[in-house]
Structure 1
Amino acid sequence: MKTISKLALAAVLATGVSGMALSVPAMAKDKKEEAKGGLKLSPEVLKAAQVAQPAIAAKDFATAEPALAQIDAAAKTDDDKYIGAALRYDLEQQKLAAAQAANPNAPINETVLAGPLDVLIANPSTPADMRGRYTYRRGALAFNGKQYPVAIQYFQKAKALGFTDPNLDLQIVKAKMESGDVKSGLADLDASVTASTAAGQKAPEDFYRYAISKANAAKLKPETFAWLQKYAVAYPSPKTWRDVIVTFGLQQNGVVTLDETQKIDLFRLMRQTKSLADQNDYLEYADSVNRRGLPSEAQAVLKEGMAAGKIPATNTMAKTLLADTGTAIRNDGPLSGLEKKAASNADGKLAAGTADAYLGQDNYAKAIELYRLALSKGGVNADDVNLHLGIAQAKSGDKAGAATSFAAVKTTPRLETAQLWTAWMNAPAA
């Protein structure tokens, strides 16, 4: 998410006096001219301003400085003070720009702009259409100085004054975030994203990543998870999905803490979203399901990784796992015998385990049948079975059935895993 860069607003928020015609005071002209409402400058101020203005435009700071000092000494009216502050603001902007051009890496002290900006904001002679601009620039000054509560006040005042800028709402968000009011900043950012979506415009990817980063750093787990889902739906690429899944439950200090069994369902989602990134992802996934007694799924994952060039053919662990899974598949034999036992068992545990094995073989019809049998017999973790039933239905193309099964999952962390699978079903094609 972009910040306000120093001096970036100079051209946009220039006072405009550099091109203003500074001539004889309006009071000395006829009534028709006076009615136009131009600046009525004191003679001393006008004379000094006519020297300062072209000197500033020419970057002749040595000439401009004493002329501005004369204006400050002679200023009596609001118009006098306005022209002095406006020219001072332009001069200081020019000096900062020149210093930055001479040494781009040197620190910039923008505090010199605060004085003239405060005068311009408060002065009755400041044109109404410029007051909001100066207020916004003053907010940017406070923001760059890490005075975030002050920046928020100026930004909100600029908005109330009618100033419009595509970055204004987002600068308020960032100021709130940096000041520690993360929840309010997230709510404002969500409103901005929602408004963009309603207008047919896609909010930038940086907005989602910024929200996730700030919410996660503040340990706001529900908010972090909500933004992870929004991000996955808005930008459903393999990279996005990997970032979302890893942040959710595969990294240390993730949104939730998962055991190995629960992580398998996230690896399954990574496989479904083509977001398994490297040999470590494939090998950890294959090793986990193999140790859980699902050699067919482990073997399929390994072969996919090798075919995609993600697992080198010389990888020792992959070779060992392939040999082990081949042996286990031969020793286990067909699953039909387990089906018969599952049907006669008093509870649904064997039915659920056999369904998991069928899911690993991509035999979704059989998996769905046995998950339903397990639920009807009971004696199983219903959330676990409903989650796996939903996965089987989703992969089979039955999105309506999957949505119902996922909605039946009620407890953390399976609830959130089910919601991620639901987000995948609802996301547009990558």
Structure 2
Amino acid sequence: MTQFRFAHIGLLLAAIGLNTVPALFGAVPAAYAAGEQQTLRPEVGKPLQAAGELMKAHKYKEALAKVRETDAIGGKTPQETYTIERMRASIAAAAGDTAVAIKSFEYLLDSGKLAPAEQTKFTSALGAMYYQQKDYPKAISTWQRYFKEGGDDPKIRTLLNQTYYLAGDYPAAQKAIAGEVAAEEKAGQAPSEEQLQLLANIALKQNDKAAYVQSIEKLVAYYPKKEYWADLINRVQGKPGFSDRLTLDVYRLKMAIGQMKDANDYMEMAQLALQAGFPAEAVKVMEAGYKAGALGNGAEAERQKRLRDLANKQAADDQKTMAQGEAEAQKAKDGTALVNLGYAYVTAGQADKGLALMDQGIKKGNLKRPDDAKLHYGVAQLQAGKKSEGVQTLKSVQGNDGTADLARYWILQSNSKTS
């Protein structure tokens, strides 16, 4: 199971401005000195002026204490209360006293005195403070208000979606993120890795295996990291109805994306290729294993050498009989033998001849496993450098036994570079 992380909350909060909340208020002390002095009584104005000076000196604890002196003053006008709370919010936010800042922000947002642009910024910052306090329901309602009032910062949208998840509202999170991903893809844009990771997390929480695999497929498509590929391959092999006869096909995909892990992988794939009648493929697998340093050493070195020698011998013998095999395949009532022989030619380095035989076999029909034939034909076309033809062939694979899944993953592989 792939482990996912959220987008870094500190970076997102910094990006929306919470870490510089005092800037939202402008130069509050200067504003007081320039104009507020005319609307505030001295008993209110003096402690606020002192608080402003202390704030400039970064003495936030003392500044807050000065603001609190105004709490005991009776008969404050609405303008005085507004100015006090604006000063308190600025200082508390700068001091990191989130609980105090939240109360002041709530008052200011409900005061009706903020300009529309300020209202939006204050709302986004208040939502972030609720998030920091892990008050997720209030963070959600505040950010919903932000978007309702015209906010459009995508970073806030990311935080809101994460908060749905953290609050346990998985359906809302899934609906919101899936909608964003669909819109981005329609516009020709790549969804962010964090969006797709969150969708995968949500699917896991809801035990929705189909949605999880769909999310991993998108991660592989846009961010083809080895860990995503490994998760995807493991999932398809464990899928109900997946046929064991496709094990060699799984190994072929693993070879193509660099997922062969150890000597056992190379040995098993080579043995399966020999059993399937593709000795030239077995030779390539063994050579790849030796080149990777997975084979040729340790206690199993001699056994590995014997398999290598066997593959080379059978490949040489195969070359001598392929022409005869072609004549027999042409006489067969179905196209299975032609498809298999064609793939053998492709693995032996004769792509054009092999692809022609495979095409002939598929057109001949009466195939025992038509989806297997189309899967192998599409893979062979990709291996021969015929990407567009290969993709079209693979798109026609419809089997529900794992063939269609593997075909889809080969298409993903053809469009990506594993990192």
From the superposition, tell whether residues 310 and 207 of structure 1 become closer, same or farther in structure 2 (CA, over 3 Å): farther
From the superposition, tell whether residues 83 and 212 of structure 1 become closer, same or farther in structure 2 (CA, over 3 Å): same
- The match for 2:286 among 285, 288, 302 is 302
TM-fit CA distance, 1:407 = 2.2
State the alpha-carbon separation in 2 of the partners of residues 177 and 321 from structure 1: 52
From the superposition, tell whether residues 44 and 125 of structure 1 become closer, same or farther in structure 2 (CA, over 3 Å): farther
CA deviation map 1:29-86 (0-9, x unaligned):
xxxxxxxxxxx43443222211222223324355334422232333733332322222
**In structure 1, what residue type is equivalent to 2:30?**
M
* TM-score normalised over the length of structure 1: 0.78
| Structure-1 residue corresponding to 2:305 | 319
| Structure-2 residue corresponding to 1:169 | 157
From the superposition, tell whether residues 214 and 23 of structure 1 become closer, same or farther in structure 2 (CA, over 3 Å): same
From the superposition, tell whether residues 253 and 389 of structure 1 become closer, same or farther in structure 2 (CA, over 3 Å): closer
Q: Which ranges of structure 2 fall in alignment gaps of 5 or more residues? A: 1-5
State the alpha-carbon separation in 2 of the partners of residues 169 and 304 from structure 1: 47
Which structure has the higher relative contact order (CA within 8 Å, separation 6+)?
A: 2
From the superposition, tell whether residues 169 and 326 of structure 1 become closer, same or farther in structure 2 (CA, over 3 Å): same
TM-fit CA distance, 1:320 = 4.2
- The match for 1:388 among 362, 376, 379 is 376
From the superposition, tell whether residues 11 and 235 of structure 1 become closer, same or farther in structure 2 (CA, over 3 Å): closer
> How much identity, in percent, do the aligned residues show?
21
State the alpha-carbon separation in 2 of the partners of residues 402 and 252 from structure 1: 21
The question of whether the paired residues in 2 share the 8 Å contact of 1:120 and 1:126 is answered with yes
State the alpha-carbon separation in 1 of the partners of residues 121 and 251 from structure 2: 51
TM-fit CA distance, 1:257 = 6.8
| Structure-2 residue corresponding to 1:69 | 68
The question of whether the paired residues in 2 share the 8 Å contact of 1:248 and 1:255 is answered with no
**In structure 2, what residue type is equivalent to 1:50?**
Q
- The match for 2:9 among 1, 4, 19 is 4
From the superposition, tell whether residues 27 and 19 of structure 1 become closer, same or farther in structure 2 (CA, over 3 Å): closer
TM-fit CA distance, 1:300 = 0.5
State the alpha-carbon separation in 1 of the partners of residues 391 and 125 from structure 2: 49
- Aligned counterparts, 1:210-229, within 5 A: 210-215=198-203, 218-229=206-217
| Structure-2 residue corresponding to 1:55 | 54
The question of whether the paired residues in 2 share the 8 Å contact of 1:247 and 1:254 is answered with no
- Across the two proteins, how many residue pairs are aligned to each other? 400
State the alpha-carbon separation in 1 of the partners of residues 34 and 291 from structure 2: 83
From the superposition, tell whether residues 118 and 196 of structure 1 become closer, same or farther in structure 2 (CA, over 3 Å): farther
State the alpha-carbon separation in 1 of the partners of residues 237 and 369 from structure 2: 26
- Aligned counterparts, 1:133-144, within 5 A: 133-144=121-132
| Structure-2 residue corresponding to 1:184 | 175
TM-fit CA distance, 1:248 = 1.8
| Structure-1 residue corresponding to 2:387 | 399
| Structure-1 residue corresponding to 2:83 | 83
1:416 is paired with a residue whose SS is helix
State the alpha-carbon separation in 1 of the partners of residues 237 and 43 from structure 2: 68
- The match for 2:32 among 12, 18, 22 is 22
CA deviation map 1:192-224 (0-9, x unaligned):
7448855xxx66544444444544554444544
**In structure 2, what residue type is equivalent to 1:321?**
L
In terms of mean alpha carbon deviation, does 123-132 or 379-388 score higher? 123-132
Backbone CA RMSD of aligned residues: 3.5
| Structure-2 residue corresponding to 1:365 | 352
CA deviation map 1:176-206 (0-9, x unaligned):
33331342143144157448855xxx66544
The question of whether the paired residues in 1 share the 8 Å contact of 2:381 and 2:389 is answered with yes
From the superposition, tell whether residues 66 and 143 of structure 1 become closer, same or farther in structure 2 (CA, over 3 Å): closer
CA deviation map 1:150-170 (0-9, x unaligned):
323222322333445451222
The question of whether the paired residues in 2 share the 8 Å contact of 1:260 and 1:288 is answered with no
Query: Does 2:153 correspond to 1:153?
Result: no
- The match for 2:410 among 412, 421, 425 is 421
| Structure-1 residue corresponding to 2:3 | none
**In structure 1, what residue type is equivalent to 2:391?**
A
Query: Does 2:21 correspond to 1:13?
Result: yes
TM-fit CA distance, 1:386 = 0.9
From the superposition, tell whether residues 219 and 336 of structure 1 become closer, same or farther in structure 2 (CA, over 3 Å): farther
